[in-house]
Structure 1
Amino acid sequence: MRWFFIFINFLVLGTTARAQISVDGLDELLTFADRNSPAAKQTQLQPYMAKQERNMQAAVLYPKVNAFATGDYYPILATQLIPAEALGGAPGTYLKAQFGLPYVFATGAEVSMPIINMNNWAKLSRAKAQFEQSKYSSNAALENLHMQLIQSYYQTLVTKEVLKLNEENEKTATELLRIMTDRNEQGVVDPADYNRAKNLSLDVKAARISNNQTFQQSVNNLNALLGTDTVVLNEELDDFEWPMLYEPGNINNRPAWQEAAWKVRTAEMSLRESRTGGMPNLSVSGRYTYNMQTNFEPNFNNIDFNIASVSLRLNVPLFQGGYYHSMQQRSKLQLQTAKLEQKRTEDNLTKQQEDWLAQYTAEFNKKEVLTEKLATAKDNLRIAKLSTKEGVMEFDEFNTLFMEYNKARIEYLQNLADGILYHLLSTQNF
């Protein structure tokens, strides 16, 4: 029994270890997502399904070979009257003749192959276009997943840095409260200022709880996208080189644009398919049959014979109740819809690239201001700590500088994360 529990614990611990991942950077995160995320796996199946559809359409053009076997029982045989004179009987009389035997067995093979069938070739062309379209549809879905992961990743890193700021604030608030407590015991400080210092310490602790919750929500979002139980981010939100960008990215490189173009191509192939639906088609077929008949009576010699045939078949659709006309009209509307969607996709992607560039430019222009603002606020907080310790600064002044430092630090971190994010998006490096 002891070994059984050890084995169970080993399985549980092993499962837990496999469910937790640790990533050192964004590239590693995206690589893991491509291989393990349920959403990525689902999108990667689309081309495989379209490929099988293409293969199914191609199979229609190959010869078909079937083997068959039948067994029939005729309790009542087909009967026909024939002139008795044909068999040497009296003129004007008839004989009843039965054809075949009650038990009939047959086996054989048949082969058929289309010779001229424009509709089948059009279907194959449409399936090939759908296959190419599915590749870009899969890439577009994967691109959207990457963008969600990038946004969630850097927001998580920002929250992680804010938690570090919380630790720094707790040390500052604790030291301030210690100083104010000593002065309160000595009676040299306003009791209201002491209480406000105490509340500041409590506010910092409450902020840590809230930020922990925000951080966990960000991690949960990553877990949901990756399909894992938990993810550990080892990267820090470091400095960024901030390269200059002058033009938005080329939308021709975006999978969504390629997908829209192939949707038009697929619609064109569907229109071609509908136009060939009513055209004549020619096929050839061959059939071989071995036939054996018996009545299972004693001393009866079974009757058997072979049959073989080769035939050409020409099908010419004449009237289908307007079916092919309606099919063509529908295909024309689908093509028109695909072209409108292509234009809309092009406009949306162009706007998206321009918005990303504008956002990056704004973050780029703010970086110097926010860097200087943070340096000033940090120096002011240093002065405030020394002044408070020496007793030459009131609590209100310290609290103002403390809040200004926190605001400047968070603004700097958010600007840094947004700058990295929009640079990646603008350069399509995802």
Structure 2
Amino acid sequence: MKQLSLILLLMISREVGAQTVVRTVQDAIQRARQHNPDLTIARQNRTTQDQQRETSRAALRPSVRAFSNFDYNYALPTQLIPAEFLGGQPGEFRTLQFGVPFNLTAGVEASMPLLNRPNRLDIGLATQNLRIIDDQNLVLQDDISTQVARTYHATLLTRSAIDIARRNVANADTIATIARQRLEKGQIEPLEYNRLQSIRLTAEDVLRQNELSYRRNQNQLKVLLGLTLQDSLVLEQDLMISTNQTGFSSTSPTAERPQVTVRRSQLELFRQQLNRENALRWPTLSVYARYSAQAQRKEFSFFDLSQKWYPIGVAGLQLNVPIYSGGLRTANLNRARLRIEQAQAELAYEQIRADLDNQDILNTYQQARNSLNFNRQNYELNEQNTQIALIKYRAGIFAYDQYLNVFNESLNAQNRYLTTLSNVFINQTILQIRNGN
């Protein structure tokens, strides 16, 4: 029986999935940086691209290759020779064929560059490309962190909205019950009862919409954190209780944005490419050595080791001096210079965009923080007013129109308070990310 219970427990736990507990938004961001699928793929791509640097280094190392050629001369060339050279009559010709039908050559060749500036600069280009990939990964990490911050607080927002919506539904149910009793006693008209019933249905619909939004936000957060939809995600933080954690010192971010760093790295890459284009004017020098053996047969008998093979060996230096390339080198140099000018303009524009975005985030945070206290007080007052209006309506002091006005004012105050509170936390987290916290 115990074994059966254990098996059932394991099956249920497998179906439910693993449980992940996230205490703060910083924990969520840290987990996303480690397990987010996009970041994981980006790191794998970085490892793959690292092989390009080894490829550039290999061009400066010795290379050795083995080769073999097999030729079958199915029609040997024929040459006419004066017959008198072979003891014949003057004016006559003899036909001679040179070579044999079957030829096999096998050998080995080694070479090594001694002077090749472009290949040496290729190593620097490969390293700079890797640096750009690292910077692009930081851009992706910054985007993912921002998405996590927004989605995390959106999840907390909708969860708090669900709690408030449930209280609204409970209040609406109470009002509808009172109205039904009064309708049965003939104290109110059906119109008043129907309007109060409409409030209850609207509150119920708002609750269902908030529950749907909460599930959507939670699922999106799971994906950002590298979880599956079957995994359980628990957020310990309560948005309504965390209002005392909004004391972040709002200062403009001083760290350079990753987007600007990418532009700066790209500018450096184009400068190195210009240096490489200039290096193509330099001569290249390499050393090589080749050894081969050749067998010539009238018949296909290369496996007969008693027949002779003829060795061939050569070693030397190869010097290549570029003189004229049909204007290709000049065009490449002009293109490299234009790329540098374009990259400089893109860097300047990206810096302006980054400063503007940082200032916008800072202004939004300061405005939301300044409005938070007023919206909190307004929310608390309207919560009290709703309870007072409920008591007065139950006592017959308030008419239903008066209660409806108080109820609608409370809904507006709830929405403004939750939105402002969420904006404070979202922009506070983004500022902390951009300040390196």
Query: Shorter-chain TM-score category?
Result: 0.7 to 0.9
Q: Look up the match of 1:414.
A: 419
Query: CA distance change for structure 1 residues 263 and 12 in 2, over 3 Å: closer, same or farther?
Result: farther
Q: State the distance in 2 between where 1:21 and 1:271 align.
A: 51
Q: 1:149 to 1:297 in 2, by over 3 A?
A: closer
2:267 maps to 1:264: yes
Deviation at 1:108, TM superposition (A): 1.5
Corresponding residue number in structure 1 for 2:279: 276
Once residues 141 and 360 of structure 2 are traced to their aligned partners in structure 1, the CA distance between those partners, rounded to angstroms, is 21
Q: Which residue of 2 aligns with 1:53?
A: 52
Match of residue 362 from structure 1: 367
Q: Name the TM-score, length of structure 1 as normaliser.
A: 0.86
Q: CA RMSD in A?
A: 3.3
| Structure 1 equivalent of residue 39 of structure 2 | 40
Question: What is the CA-CA distance between 1:244 and the residue it aligns to?
Answer: 4.5
1:110–1:286 CA contact under 8 A, matched in 2: yes
CA deviation after TM superposition for structure 1 residue 138, in Å = 1.3
Name the count of aligned residue pairs: 421
Contact 2:149 2:430 in 1 (8 A): no
1:294 aligns with 2:293: no
Alpha-carbon offset, residue 48 of structure 1: 2.5
1:183 lines up with 2:182 in the alignment: yes
Q: What's the offset of the Cα at 1:174? A: 0.8
> How big is the shift at 1:23?
4.6
Contact 1:115 1:283 in 2 (8 A): yes
1:250 paired with 2:254, answer yes
Q: Is the 8 A contact 2:104 2:295 kept in 1?
A: yes
Q: Which residue of 2 aligns with 1:4?
A: none
Structure 2 partner of 1:380? 385
Distance 1:336 1:411, change over 3 A: same
Contact 2:19–2:234, Cα closer than 8 Å, also in 1: no
- Secondary structure of 1:303's counterpart equals coil
- How far is the alpha carbon of 1:127 from its aligned partner? 1.4
CA drift of 1:232 comes to 3.5
Paired residues of 1:245 and 1:357 also in contact (CA < 8 A): no
The offset of 1:28, in angstroms, is: 4.4
Contact in 2 for aligned 1:137/1:255 (Cα 8 Å):
yes
CA separation of 1:278/1:180 partners in 2, compared to 1, >3 Å: closer, same or farther?
same
Which of 310, 313, 319 aligns to 2:318? It is 313
Report the equivalent of 1:3.
none
Residue 208 (structure 2) pairs with residue 234 (structure 1): no
d(CA) in 1 for partners of 2:372, 2:267: 44
The question of 1:195 aligning with 2:194 is answered yes
Return the alpha-carbon distance in structure 2 between the equivalents of residues 98 and 229 of structure 1. Answer: 81
- The answer for the alignment partner of 2:71 in structure 1 is 72
After TM superposition, the structure 1 = structure 2 runs for residues 155-166 of structure 1, keeping only pairs within 5 Å, are: 155-166=154-165
- Name the CA distance, whole Å, in 1 between partners of 2:378 and 2:345: 49
> What code does the residue aligned with 1:112 have?
S
Partner residue in 1 for 2:130 = 131
Residues 1:353 and 2:358 are matched in the alignment: yes
- Quote the Cα distance in structure 1 between the aligned partners of 2:378 and 2:334: 65
Equivalent residue of 1:354, what SS?
helix
Question: Which ranges of structure 2 fall in alignment gaps of 5 or more residues?
Answer: 1-6
Name the CA shift for 1:86/1:178 in 2 (closer, same or farther; >3 Å): same
State the secondary structure of the residue aligned to 1:239: helix
In 2, the alpha carbon distance for the partners of 1:180 and 1:301 equals: 117
Segment drifting more, 352-361 vs 27-36: 27-36
% identical equivalent positions: 24
Question: Is structure 2 residue 429 aligned with structure 1 residue 424?
Answer: yes
The alpha carbon displacement at 1:56 in A equals 1.5
Partners in 1 of 2:68 and 2:387 — Cα distance?
A: 96
Give yes or no for contact 2:76–2:100 (8 Å, CA) kept in 1: yes
Work out whether residues 46 and 138 of structure 1, in 8 Å CA contact, stay in contact via their aligned partners in 2.
no
Q: 1:11–1:337: structure 2 CA closer, same or farther, 3 Å change rule?
A: farther
* Greater shift in the superposed pair: 353-362 or 385-394: 385-394
Q: 2:315 and 2:82 mapped to 1: Cα distance? A: 34
Q: Retained in 1: the 8 A contact 2:148–2:221?
A: yes
- Is the Cα–Cα contact under 8 Å of residues 245 and 361 in structure 1 kept in the other structure? no
CA contact (8 A) 1:377 1:408 kept: yes
Call closer, same or farther: CA 1:259–1:16 in 2, change over 3 Å.
farther
The residue type equivalent to 2:42 in the other structure is: T
1:243/1:297 CA distance change after superposition, 3 Å: closer
Q: SS of 2:242's equivalent?
A: coil
TM-score with structure 2 length normalisation? 0.85
- Aligned counterparts of 1:163 and 1:152: Cα–Cα separation in 2: 16
Q: For residues 319 and 142 of structure 1, do their structure 2 counterparts lie closer, same or farther at Cα, with a shift above 3 Å needed?
A: same
C-alpha spacing 1:91/1:342, structure 2 compared with 1 (3 Å): farther
Q: Is the 8 A contact 1:251 1:349 kept in 2?
A: no
Q: Which residue of 1 aligns with 2:3?
A: none
